[in-house]
Amino acid sequence: MIQCDSLTKRFGGFTAVDQVSFEVGNGEVFGLLGPNGAGKTTTMRLLSTLLKPTSGTATVAGYDLLREPQKVRASIGVLPEDTGLYDRLTPREHLQYYGKLHGMPKDVLRKRSDELLDIMELGDRANTKVGDFSKGMKQKVALLRAFIHDPPVLLLDEPTAGLDVMSARSIQAFVERFRKEGKAIMISTHNMTEAQKLCDRVAIIDHARIVAAGTVAELQQKTSQKDLENIFVQLVTD
């Protein structure tokens, strides 16, 4: 699970994330919603230890961001904003590489790779270099990379942005499947339909601060709006 406690990040005079606090429990999908530049990606980068918070901290899977960054990294699966795949490697080679970095034994790694490639229906393309893949397929491979070591916590930055309906659906089904397995999953998104469909709870972030958080029903009540998009617009323009 994730526990954020007044997480703040400043770049010089600019505050990218301001006093952000929230919790994501096991078996829960938590959505971070916000316009571009609101601080979604910076929050993700703080939780994945790419950036150090200016103040505040967070625990991820019970480990403190500042004191045990390596243990945090071992417990998370990250889908970054850009897929960050190596064009000259195949999906299987990607999974092998990152699995090894997580210290997975060879036989476990092979079994897990096969399993994941099957779930994502990438089995027949497992040995093709990803440089030739479509955006949707690349996103699927990057998602599998995040899951390879079976981490308890997942940080998914815009998992379906710019994808066609079919690819987006299979990624959503994948997330749904692992939520049921009890993972704590945090996603950042622009896509309100997706948030409404996938997330148990959402937080709306604007200008580096969380302006509202709760289940979609709670937010509906709070704003007297039905549609999440309208809720979002109302909260962000207030």
Partner 1 sequence: MMNLGRITAIAAKELKDALRDRRTIIAMILIPIIVLPVLMFLPAFLASPQRNPVRIAVIQSDSTSDEFLAGLASDQIRVVTIGRAENMTKLIQNGDYELGMVLPPDFSRILEGPDQRATITIFVDQSSTRGTIALALVQDAITKYTDRIVAERLAKTGLPPEALTPIETDLHSVTVTGTGALFLAILLPLFLGIYAVTGAMYFIMDTTAGEKERKTLEALLTMPATRTEIVVGKFLIAVLIALLSSVLAIIGMMAGVVLFSGAIGESSVPGLSISVGNLVLIGLATLVLAMTSASLEMMISIFARSFKEAQNFLSPLSIVVVVPALAMQYMSEQTLRSFAIAPIFNAMLIIRDALLNRASATSLTLEFLSAFVYMAIALAVAIKIFNSEKAMVRY
**Given the rule CB under 8 A, which residues bind partner 1?**
11, 45, 48-52, 70-71, 73-74, 76, 78, 80-86, 88-89, 93, 97-98, 100-103, 129, 142, 145
* Cβ at position 212, least distance to partner 1 in Å: 26
The backbone torsions φ and ψ at residue 19, rounded to the nearest 5 degrees and listed phi first, read: 50, 50
| For partner 1, the closer CB: 129 or 190 | 129
Burial code (b: 16+ CB inside 10 Å, e: under 16) for 140-165 equals: bbbbbbbbbbebbbbbbbbbbeebee
* Cβ at position 117, least distance to partner 1 in Å: 18
How far apart CA 109 and CA 103 sit, in angstroms, is: 9
| For partner 1, the closer CB: 52 or 222 | 52
* Cβ at position 142, least distance to partner 1 in Å: 7
| For partner 1, the closer CB: 104 or 195 | 104
| For partner 1, the closer CB: 97 or 150 | 97
* Cβ at position 233, least distance to partner 1 in Å: 26
Question: Are 64 and 19 contacting, i.e. CB atoms less than 8 angstroms apart?
Answer: no
- The H or E element spanning position 157 is strand 153-157
Q: What share of the chain is helix, strand, coil (3-state, %, to 5)?
A: 40, 25, 30
